Structure 1
Amino acid sequence: MTKIPFYQVDAFASKPFEGNQACIMPLEEFLPDETLQAIAAENNVAETAYIVPTGEGVWNLRWFTPAVEVPLCGHATLASAHVLFNELGFEGEAIHFDTVKSGRLVVRKLSSGALEMDFPSAPIKEIPVTDEVARALGARPVQAWGGMFYAARFETPEEVKALTPDLKALKDLGAPGEGWDRGNFGCFAAGGAEVDVTSRFFAPGSGIDEDPATGSWHTMLARVMSERFEQNDLKCFQAYPGRGAFIDTRLEGDRVKLIGTSVTVIEGQFTL
């Protein structure tokens, strides 16, 4: 029998039952891919992250939803750093994560206790809103962009909060262009209660109907808001029913800083 340390963390949260759930599992080396995917399906939260030490302050990092391995995940990166800093006693100034498709990601602890992640922010392109997308979302966005995901802008936060998309139809849609993920839609509007932007993220293409807190989406949202509203520093709210998450972003060239806090809610062992 193999026992693997297991931490379930609410990421981008100040207390339990906020933000997004991630399971963090420290390993000495990566298990076979099919085993990693099976464990993530068993955990059945938005993301399971596996971390393997490779040097002083350096870990390899991979992320799996219950259905697929993903190229970038913000909330599970934040949760991984939270576990290393707060549960496993890492005392360095910064944690360096090496990833397969997103390069090196650096996470630093701020004096406030929050963690600041340094992520890439890919280029975006404004695209037309098609009738097919409007029908699947159940409302017509006023603007749309393609990039890492499909970004749909609405006029008011209330419209975003009221969305009830056809997830089956949405799964097969996306922005035109090679390399842009299908079935992953960020919907947003400027404004909200004491925030600069309110959004939701629907991800049936990644095996998740709706994600409660999505760091990778905010790397795109930061660029869209900068180009559309000339705002490089944002206070963001992701409005998932019953949870919700606050994420601060700062766009710096082709990188974006994502800032948030996390809490550990479960600690134990996963037995194989």
Structure 2
Amino acid sequence: MEISRYVAFSSDPAGGNPAGVVLDATGVDDATMLATAADLGYSESAFVVPADDGTVDIRYFSPLAEVPFCGHATIATAVAHAQRHGTGRLHLRTKAGPVTVTTDRAADGSVVATLVSVAPRTAPLAGADLAELLAVLGWSAGELDPALPPRVAFAGAWHPVVAAASRDRLADLDYDMDALAALMARHDWTTVDLVWRESPTTFHARNPFPPGGVVEDPATGAAAAAFGGYLRELGLVPTPATLTIHQGVDMGRPSTITVTVPAEPGTGIGVSGTAVQI
């Protein structure tokens, strides 16, 4: 395998979320993919197998397990593919369903990739589950933003969405990794999407990711897509909307994710960003 390393959602190698990218993993078995992801040590790595019908199969592995969908590794893969083969559109077959990703050149010459997620949806976050999650995080119900109610959101993977009432609460993240990993495993949650609303269309996010073997994800495209669907389904933003999500700031890897939310219910959410090879 030829393994590339990219940082997604940043033009600075010191920011964003790193991912391993294998543009041709033909014939590579699951054990080798997992071992490669573990050796790289990034939150996810992507493995692509080109198909004859113009689509590509893509799989995502954290250091500990396969995940159904990963936004930042998709952006990294699309940019890597565009640099090798030129910009355009890719049709991806993921374990979560079909995802389209388009690449274009920005004015500064960088490649910007935009993925369109599978259809998003939300589910209630049961009171007992919310209470357990808050206890593990060390948060209290009084520290939540009542305008953004807790839910579990999906756009390829499931993420509890919990909104802090203040930036200080979001900045102070200290949790029991083993306890949170056990809770997330019971519910098949991929990351926990902790957010704070700076303005009607600007948000800050942090994403604990113990199922992947990392304390925190610096940029989570799948959670950003799920969050866009959550906002639309609950009527929390006027649509169509373009949102900016800042993530990774508190861990020293600033990332910027652009989310486009179409007005039509049930349609996929757009997630855009650039990537740079490291």
Which TM-score applies when normalising by structure 1? 0.85
- SS of 2:269's equivalent? strand
Counterpart of 1:117 in structure 2 is 115
Partner amino acid, structure 2, of 1:258: V
Counterpart of 1:268 in structure 2 is none
Q: Determine if contact 2:136/2:179 at 8 Å carries over to the other structure.
A: yes
Partner amino acid, structure 2, of 1:135: A
Q: Determine if contact 2:91/2:98 at 8 Å carries over to the other structure.
A: no
Unaligned ranges ≥5, structure 1: 266-272
Deviates more, 1:251-260 or 1:123-132: 123-132
| 1:184 aligns with one of 182, 191, 197 | 191
1:28 offset after TM fit, Å?
A: 5.3
Q: Determine if contact 1:106/1:117 at 8 Å carries over to the other structure.
A: yes
Residues 7, 73 of structure 1: alpha-carbon distance in 2 compared, 3 angstrom cutoff: same
1:56 offset after TM fit, Å?
A: 7.1
Identity %: 23
- 1:135 corresponds to 2:135: yes
Equivalent residues in 2 for 1:1-272 (5 A)?
4-27=1-24, 29-55=26-52, 58-86=55-83, 88=84, 90-109=85-104, 111-112=106-107, 113-129=111-127, 130-141=130-141, 142=144, 143-147=149-153, 148-174=158-184, 180-182=187-189, 184-191=191-198, 196-226=202-232, 227=234, 229-231=236-238, 232-239=241-248, 240-252=250-262, 253=265, 254-265=267-278
1:258 offset after TM fit, Å?
A: 0.5
Q: 2: distance between equivalents of 1:183 and 1:54?
A: 28
Partner amino acid, structure 2, of 1:261: T
- SS of 2:115's equivalent? strand
Structure 1, residues 158-211: CA drift from partner, whole Å, max 9, x if none?
Answer: 2111121222221122599xxx5246311011117x971111001112322211
Q: 1: distance between equivalents of 2:185 and 2:260?
A: 25
Q: 2: distance between equivalents of 1:183 and 1:50?
A: 19
Unaligned ranges ≥5, structure 2: none
1:79 offset after TM fit, Å?
A: 0.5
1:18 offset after TM fit, Å?
A: 0.7
Q: 2: distance between equivalents of 1:250 and 1:40?
A: 30
Q: Determine if contact 1:121/1:219 at 8 Å carries over to the other structure.
A: no
1:212 offset after TM fit, Å?
A: 0.8
Q: 2: distance between equivalents of 1:28 and 1:171?
A: 29
Q: How many residues align?
A: 256
1:110 offset after TM fit, Å?
A: 5.5
Partner amino acid, structure 2, of 1:235: T
Q: 2: distance between equivalents of 1:119 and 1:139?
A: 30
Residues 121, 200 of structure 1: alpha-carbon distance in 2 compared, 3 angstrom cutoff: farther
1:127 offset after TM fit, Å?
A: 2.9
Q: 2: distance between equivalents of 1:6 and 1:174?
A: 30
Structure 1, residues 28-61: CA drift from partner, whole Å, max 9, x if none?
Answer: 5141111111111111111111112214753211
